[in-house]
Amino acid sequence: MPQYTPPLRDMQFVLHEVLKVTDELKGCPRHAEVDAGTMNAVLEEGGKFASEMLFPLNLSGDREGCTHDKATHSVRTPKGFKEAYAKYVEGGWPALSVEPEFGGQGLPVVLNQCIYEMMNSANQAWTMYPGLSHGALECLHAHGTEAQKKTYLPKLTSGVWTGTMCLTESHCGTDLGLLRTKAEPVIGGEADGSYKLTGQKIFISAGEHDMAENIVHLVLARLPDAPQGSKGISLFAVPKFNVKADGSLGERNAIYCTGIEHKMGIHGNATAQLSLDGATGTLVGEPNKGLPAMFVMMNAARLGVGNQSLGLTEVAYQNAVAYAKDRRQMRALSGPKQPEQPADTIIVHPDVRKMLLTARAYAEGGRALAVYCALLIDKMIASDDEDERKEAGDLTALLTPIVKAFLTDNGWIATSHCMQVYGGHGYIAEWGMEQYVRDARINMIYEGTNTVQSLDLLGRKVLGDNGAKLKKFGKLVTEFIEEEGTNEAMQEFVNPLADLGDKVTKLTTELGMKAFGNADEVGAAAVDYLRVAGHLVFAYFWARMAKVALEKKEEQGEGCDPFYTAKLHTARFYFAKLLPETAGLIRSARAGLAPLMAMDEALF
Amino acid sequence: MPQYTPPLRDMQFVLHEVLKVTDELKGCPRHAEVDAGTMNAVLEEGGKFASEMLFPLNLSGDREGCTHDKATHSVRTPKGFKEAYAKYVEGGWPALSVEPEFGGQGLPVVLNQCIYEMMNSANQAWTMYPGLSHGALECLHAHGTEAQKKTYLPKLTSGVWTGTMCLTESHCGTDLGLLRTKAEPVIGGEADGSYKLTGQKIFISAGEHDMAENIVHLVLARLPDAPQGSKGISLFAVPKFNVKADGSLGERNAIYCTGIEHKMGIHGNATAQLSLDGATGTLVGEPNKGLPAMFVMMNAARLGVGNQSLGLTEVAYQNAVAYAKDRRQMRALSGPKQPEQPADTIIVHPDVRKMLLTARAYAEGGRALAVYCALLIDKMIASDDEDERKEAGDLTALLTPIVKAFLTDNGWIATSHCMQVYGGHGYIAEWGMEQYVRDARINMIYEGTNTVQSLDLLGRKVLGDNGAKLKKFGKLVTEFIEEEGTNEAMQEFVNPLADLGDKVTKLTTELGMKAFGNADEVGAAAVDYLRVAGHLVFAYFWARMAKVALEKKEEQGEGCDPFYTAKLHTARFYFAKLLPETAGLIRSARAGLAPLMAMDEALF
């Protein structure tokens, strides 16, 4: 019953009209020749794969879930998942934006971003299987030995094997310094130089399944005599099947799935408990430097999680709109709008529109931000200008926690609104809306809870370098405001953007001063601060999008593509109805630490 | 693994110290002799029943769900539900606050309110079975014939039979004027004077089950030649088993459960599709006056739904606190708080406290408001002073949509926060936290969506009588502010309360003027307005609670009961961190209709 249409037009708008990615990529020799036509053709194909292959498996995958067989430690994924994955590999999708060195197609990350948004819209649980492979691949590319690269990268690139990240243990998730899994060096014999890993991991997404020949687990563990805490953690590659010298699969490695979790959502993805019973692994990167190495993967994953909620926001919006145009209930308060019918369609009711437009503004704003970040990553990886690489790296560092937390909080709000549009039917499984809400909820938790993201933003990224990274983003905002300073039609967007920019600057300074006195002030304000910063970023992109829409309307006159009219209305809605949230958030952030800490723990 | 302790101390605080209910009930002859000791004893017993009998069935009831047997049209409730219901009836709980005329114990509604809060904390899905009977009982009491009262009320009072409300059909929920179920009068024969009902109802909570001997369905249907729309709807009592003249059960009536829904939550409650195939019913009240008659039941149900989320907020809070005091993860940013341990308990982190205190402030504020409303209902029913009855009725009318929508929105926020405190474990079913979120979600939808509540508040209750009812509540606020005008210690609470009161007055006037020009302005602002009004009501009760706490601290000095210290801290938290939300809401409300309606429907 649910439906999904890939938002190709809006992706093209963001890519080509707002961000002008083909121009921006001219500084990346590898991408200098990529043209819009090629990009659009890839997007169209990707959209077909998502909507025709993955989307029909979403409801059924949720209902069926994964099945764990204790005897064989195997996991059966829902009906159709395996076959869809085979098509995915066959289509060459895993290799899309991987560097050509190991068999990748070397296309820009911005494309992969859009393909993943569509796959997340279609089926988040399924998309997590290939999704985690990208991070594993990047991590091995950055930190692996030549042998590891040769062994793993071609297979991860083609998607014949998948990857995981094994961090969490039952007693530690956020605080990885507490982890206990051990790695003992093997000295002598055939496995000389490798390690035997022993321990228990939990919450390993895509940790076991029947979709790929092999699974490459990237596992955090402690070497003997490693320093305590997070400085004593090393990273290991631990394949499900050992790999022979010729690259073929050897014997089963001693890393076993001992159970899968029963969860609120993403039922189609196996969340595995893994037992390492002396499993053979090889060290990735330096001893005791596992956490920084893993951060390559975690940063990619954080952007990926924001993208999951972006996908859910879009698909929930599309369905809620269709329902609101079809369902008839009551009359408009201002009088019947469809008097020939027994009742008006519910899209005539202002609050139904408010819920729909909230989802729409969050989807379209999120898309602009997410593609922008992907473009920064393209520059980080492939620009021939060191300054540009550095600049892109700094902006990515600043924006990553915002993409992760702001987009997932927005996804939670938006999917819940879209479900509400359905009334009672929204609560019923067969309509598919409640699944979006359940699936969206995990995105606020994993890859660092949204509280952790907010501490990363305010504590590390903003205050940690005295606002240098924030000023880089602020400069983009200021330049845009100055450029549009004399453009009358843009003032309705530029003024609130400038106003919020000033407020963020003041708030940042105030919080910095407070944190100087007591570091816990950061923790008290961080979540409110991230949401305010998220709105600043959205206001910037909405203003940029409005600018393009205004230009096109001017250009095209009477017969203007209604796409631009819709874009302008959505921009106005964003500034009128969503941005005002910042007023309360700033007040709450400024209220500081005392109201949180005054009460003795025993009184809770 | 989850736990629940009845919040008896806080209930006693609200009942006896803040609202002074035994004094307030002196004007109700029936309750004039009720003393605090009796009330506390009943609460203690009720708390035991909830925590010991119902709470252990909550997780298992969710996992097992209800089972529908197509062949017999029967529904099996989860293991233990039936036995718990038998104990409930045996304990006399259904009769607690029912009037003695039909076997009730005649105790005040404030007691029943608290008992129900605890049952909802323990098991919302179970509590919905007896919960709906109360509304059916009240509706028949108000509108039934003597024969109907004699037939149904004693059995509903004792709980041997349960009741339902059958409104929704697949094409209409909010808009009952569209309903199609038909009622044909039976003329002559044994059933002379009764009606044959034919149609399909959906979403009937507790619509079929194995817990009671009989189910009394109150069904909305159309008489032949009834006017179109909501003025042509009549109400009928349709028992599952026909009742013989001697009160014993006769043959099975033709109202059958044809299926139950698969839902996001409340799995333990059967959400029935009912088919009426010429079922025998009797008219309740006047022909074509079914909707106003049903409103007796709906108003009670709306308060009951708010109470469901209050219960979930409390139990989610209790569990999140226990987890936050036990789980160790990271160090406080200001330095280790428990240096002898490998990490600090997460309750040292400011944002964890913010999430906990949000739930706590919403639970305690919601409790004060809900008990206050129950006290108003006691006065409405039992006061010997007509003016008092009228005043209580007006305030109840005003506050009912606020209790329904504000408490359920808060419950959604709070249960989600409490789940977030658990990190990844919150998403896993066995910890029980994600169930609270799923169960809480329905409360924003049924018995009139929260949008419908907000239209009821702003359109009907506030603007509909030119603010007369709002002024009555405003008078209570103003009097309180004036009383505390010279109390230095109260200024931190009284000032923001007065400020918000002024803002609500201004906003109401502004919206009233706008609505005069275009009635859709009401729909554009209503949801924001209700949330602002909810905060005004909470600010009033939090200020009153703070006043009592301050007095007690003054009175008791050094050895003061720490309960009052905690109450004061929670009040300060509420004013510092939650009330500020109103700043954004007021801006959004004032942004008006245009940003919602400007976009053509085709462009969505």
Query: To probe the interface with B, which of A262, A325, A451 has the most B CB atoms within 10 Å?
Result: A451
Q: Which residues pair with B276 in a beta bridge?
A: B199, B255
Beta pairing, strands B271-284 & B161-166: unpaired
Distance between CA atoms of B206 and B215, rounded to whole angstroms? 9
pLDDT of residue B300: 87
Residues sharing a CB contact under 8 Å with residue A398, sequence separation 6 or more, in sequence order: A457, A461, A462, A469, A470, A472, A473
What's the pLDDT at A292?
A: 92
Tokens 């940690």 belong to A464
pLDDT for A296: 78
Q: Are the Cβ atoms of B420 and A445 closer than 8 angstroms?
A: yes
Across-strand partners of B274? B201, B257
Cβ neighbourhood burial of A241 (10 Å; 0-12, 13-18, 19+): middle
Q: Does A514 score more than 90 pLDDT? A: yes
**Predicted local distance difference test score (pLDDT) of residue B590:** 98
The predicted-structure confidence for B552-591, as pLDDT tens digits, reads as follows 999 999 999 999 999 999 999 999 999 999 999 999 999 9
The span from the CA of A271 to the CA of A128, in Å, is: 10
> Best residue in A166, A333, A511 to probe B by mutation, most B CBs within 10 Å?
A333
Average pLDDT over residues A55-60: 98
Residue A397 has pLDDT above 90, yes or no: yes
A317: tokens are: 């919006």
- Per-residue model confidence (pLDDT) at position A63: 98
Chain-wide mean pLDDT for chain B? Answer: 97
pLDDT score of A205 more than 90? yes
Hey, is the C-beta of B264 within 8 angstroms of any chain A C-beta?
A: yes
What per-residue confidence (pLDDT) applies to B298?
86
Residue of A330, A439, A561 best to disrupt the B interface, most CBs of B under 10 A: A330
Residues 6+ apart with CB under 8 A from A199: A169, A179, A180, A181, A182, A221, A276
Q: Determine how β-strand B74-76 pairs with β-strand B67-69.
A: antiparallel
What mean pLDDT is predicted for residues B299-324?
97
Chain A: residue nearest B168 by CA? A424
Q: Residue B101 is encoded by which pair of tokens?
A: 């005329």
Mean pLDDT of B166-188: 96
What radius of gyration do chain A's Cα atoms show? 24
pLDDT of residue A190: 87
- Measured from the Cβ of residue A98, the count of other Cβ atoms closer than 10 Å reads 26
DSSP-derived secondary structure for A331-395: --TTS-SSTTSSS-BGGGSHHHHHHHHHHHHHHHHHHHHHHHHHHHHHHHHH-S-HHHHHHHHHH
Residue B266 in tokens = 């409340």
Cα atoms in the Cβ-side hemisphere of radius 13 Å centred on A360:
25
pLDDT tens for A97-111 read: 998 999 999 999 999
Among B436, B456, B452, which Cα is nearest to B444's? B452
Contact (CB<8Å) B360/A604: yes
Residues 6 or more apart whose CB falls under 8 angstroms from that of A407 comprise A306, A307, A309, A310, A313, A362, A366, A369, A370
- Alpha carbon B138 to its chain centroid, in Å, reads 16
User: Over the stretch A63-110, which tens digit does the pLDDT of each residue have?
Assistant: 999 999 999 999 999 999 999 999 999 999 999 999 899 999 999 999
Residue A98: predicted pLDDT: 94
Is pLDDT at A422 greater than 90 in this prediction? yes
Report d(CA B412, CA B420) in Å as an integer: 12
- Cα–Cα distance measured from residue B163 to residue B215, given in angstroms and rounded to the nearest whole number: 5
Could you tell me the pLDDT band of residue A1, with boundaries at 50, 70 and 90? confident
pLDDT value of residue A299: 87
Q: Provide, as residue numbers in chain B, all residues whose Cβ is less than 8 Å from the Cβ of A324.
A: 604
Q: In the prediction, which pLDDT does B238 show?
A: 98
Q: What was the pLDDT predicted at B308? A: 98
The answer to pTM > 0.95 is: yes
Residue A242: CB atoms within 10 Å = 18
Measured CA to CA, the distance from residue B126 to residue B50 in angstroms comes to 10
Residues A349, B264: C-beta atoms closer than 8 Å: no
Is the CB of residue A446 less than 8 Å away from at least one CB of chain B?
A: yes
Dihedral angle computed from the Cα positions of residues B412, B413, B415 and B420, in that order, rounded to the nearest 10 degrees: 140
Average pLDDT over residues B390-397: 97
Q: Can you tell me the mean pLDDT for A427-439? A: 98
Cβ-defined contact of B264 to A438 (cutoff 8 Å): yes
The two three-digit tokens of residue B481, written as one number: 């502010």
**A593 interfaces chain B, CB cutoff of 8 Å:** yes
Instruction: State the CB neighbour count (10 A cutoff) for residue A214.
Output: 18
Phi, psi of B352 (to 5 degrees): -65, -45
The pLDDT assigned to A30 comes to 95
Q: Do A526 and B587 touch (CB under 8 A)?
A: no
Confidence of residue B299 (pLDDT cuts 50, 70, 90): confident
Q: Concatenated DSSP letters for A169-217?
A: BTTBSS-GGG---EEEE--SSTTTT-EEEEEEEEEEET-S-SSSSEEEE
Predicted confidence at residue A118, as pLDDT, reads: 98
Chain B CA closest to residue A347: B601
For B279, the 3-state DSSP assignment is: strand
Identify which of A263, A444, A573 has the shortest CB distance to residue B420: A444
| One-character DSSP codes across B15-40 | IIIIS-HHHHGGGSGGGTT--HHHHH
CB A247 within 8 A of CB A151: yes
The mean pLDDT of A205-216, rounded to a whole number, is 98
**What is the reported pLDDT for B482?**
97
Mean pLDDT score of chain A: 97
Neighbours of B443 (CB within 10 A): 29
Q: What is the 3-state secondary structure (H, E, C) of A466-531?
A: CCHHHHHHHHHHHHHHHHCCCCHHHHHHHHHHHHHHHHHHHHHHHHHHHHHHCCHHHHHHHHHHHH
At residue B216, the pLDDT reads 98
A180 — contact with chain B (CB < 8 Å)?
A: no
User: B70: exposed, middle or buried (C-beta count within 10 Å: 0-12, 13-18, 19+)?
Assistant: exposed
- Are residues A423 and B330, on separate chains, in Cβ contact within 8 Å? no
- Give the amino acid at A601: E
Banded pLDDT at A297 (limits 50, 70, 90) = confident
pLDDT above 90 (res B296): no
CA gap A228, A231 in Å, rounded: 7
Instruction: Give B531's pLDDT tier (boundaries 50, 70, 90).
Output: very high
CB contact under 8 A, B172 and A581: no
pLDDT at A298 over 90: no
The whole-number pLDDT of residue A41 equals 98
Phi, then psi, of B257 in degrees rounded to 5? -80, 115
Element (H, E) at B234: strand B234-239
pLDDT above 70 covers what percent of chain A? Answer: 100
- In chain B, the percentage of residues whose pLDDT exceeds 70 is 100
Q: Please state the rounded mean pLDDT for residues B44-63.
A: 98
Asked whether residue A153 carries a pLDDT value surpassing 90, the answer given is yes
Q: Nearest CA of chain B to the CA of A208: how many Å? A: 18
pLDDT (tens digit per residue) in B236-265: 999 999 999 999 999 999 999 999 999 999
- For chain B, say whether A434 makes contact (Cβ under 8 Å): yes
B447 is catalytic: yes
Side-chain-side CA neighbours of B304 within 13 Å: the count stands at 25
pLDDT for A385 equals 98
b/e code A476-494 from CB counts within 10 Å (16+ = b): ebeebbeebeeeeebeebb
Among A98, A97, A215, A212, smallest CA distance to A163 is for A215
Q: Which of residues 358-397 of B touch A (CB under 8 A)?
A: 360
Interface of B with A in 486-525 (CB under 8 A): 518-520, 522-524
Structure tokens at B103: 């076997």
Comparing CA positions, the residue from A266, A207, A271, A211 lying closest to residue A82 is: A211
Residue A471, CA distances (Å) to A454, A475, A586, B264, B477 in order = 18, 6, 19, 44, 46
What would you measure as the largest C-alpha separation in chain B, in angstroms?
86
**What are the structure tokens assigned to B86, written together?**
């038998």
pLDDT at site B373? 98
CB contact under 8 A, B178 and A599: no
